[in-house]
Amino acid sequence: MNIRIGNGYDIHRLVSDRPLILGGVHIPHSLGLLGHSDADVLTHAIMDAMLGALSLGDIGHYFPPSDPQWAGADSLVLLSKVHQLVRQHGWQIGNVDSVVVAERPKLKPHIEKMRETIAQVLQVQPNQVGVKATTNEKLGPTGREEGICAYAVVLLEKF
Ligand SMILES: Nc1ccn([C@@H]2O[C@H](COP(=O)(O)O)[C@@H](O)[C@H]2O)c(=O)n1
Ligand SMILES: C[C@@]1(CO)OP(=O)(O)OP(=O)(O)OC[C@H]1O
């Protein structure tokens, strides 16, 4: 079999006095995401999808929230490590697709930068990285702006 598919999901709570980082991009907003790392839900969902595609567990296994080493970690550094692991197993990225669920702020102006940033770390072209945004129509925790979540699907190819 020369292709594998994986999916990932993550959610973090919105709080004041934290930066909002999504797909490695700093997004100006009055609230940011709380987490052990920089709490970049989009990058976390993509990493879990990559690991899931190879049944290699999840990010908490490699970067435990109990380990001070990962306190305040840049999730792009973690993404690079997961990418390295995937490569070591003989696989490369076919494509990534993702969606961020956020009531606010408007993410559209930042989507291209997120795609370029993620693509650079994964050593692929931006057209291999899909990032979309949607509100939750004011429904549930994301709709009430208590948090932001992201879903990702990754296709891997054997090289
Ligand atoms: N945080 C967000 C949410 C949505 N968008 C863009 O708006 C479009 C409409 O969103 P709905 O939830 O009302 O369907 C969506 O397709 C995105 O292009 C956004 O930029 N930022
Ligand atoms: C990224 C890690 C790093 O400790 O921590 P968090 O930023 O809290 O993120 P989460 O998705 O809750 O858990 C995964 C952890 O690996």
Q: What is the pTM of this model?
A: 0.98
Q: How many domains does the chain have?
A: 1
Over residues 65-83, the mean pLDDT reads 97
Positions of E strands within 34-122: 91-101
Asked if residue 36 belongs to a known ligand binding site, the reply is: yes
Domain range holding 114?
A: 3-158
The CA-CA-CA angle for residues 21, 32, 75, to 5°, reads: 30
50 vs 68: CA distance, rounded Å: 24
CATH, residue 32: 3.30.1330.50
The answer to whether residues 32 and 14 touch, using CB atoms and an 8 Å cutoff, is yes
Question: Strands of 147-158's sheet, edge to edge?
Answer: 32-33, 3-15, 147-158, 91-101, 129-134
Q: Average pLDDT over the chain, rounded to whole?
A: 98
The pLDDT score that the predictor gives to residue 40 is 98
31 neighbors 120 (Cβ within 8 angstroms): no
Are 8 and 27 contacting, i.e. CB atoms less than 8 angstroms apart?
A: no
Q: pLDDT digits over 88-123, tens only? A: 999 999 999 999 999 999 999 999 999 999 999 999
Nearest protein Cα to ligand 1, atom 16: 134
Phi and psi dihedrals of 122, rounded to 5? -85, 0
Quick: pLDDT tens for 9-45. Answer: 999 999 999 999 999 999 999 999 999 999 999 999 9
Tell me: pLDDT of 1 over 90.
no
In this predicted structure, what is the pLDDT of residue 143? Answer: 98
Does residue 63 have its Cβ closer than 6 Å to ligand 2? yes
pLDDT in tens, 123-139: 999 999 999 999 999 99
Indicate the pLDDT class of residue 6, thresholds 50, 70 and 90. Answer: very high
Mutate which of 31, 108, 137 for ligand 1 pocket (most atoms within 8 A of beta carbon): 108
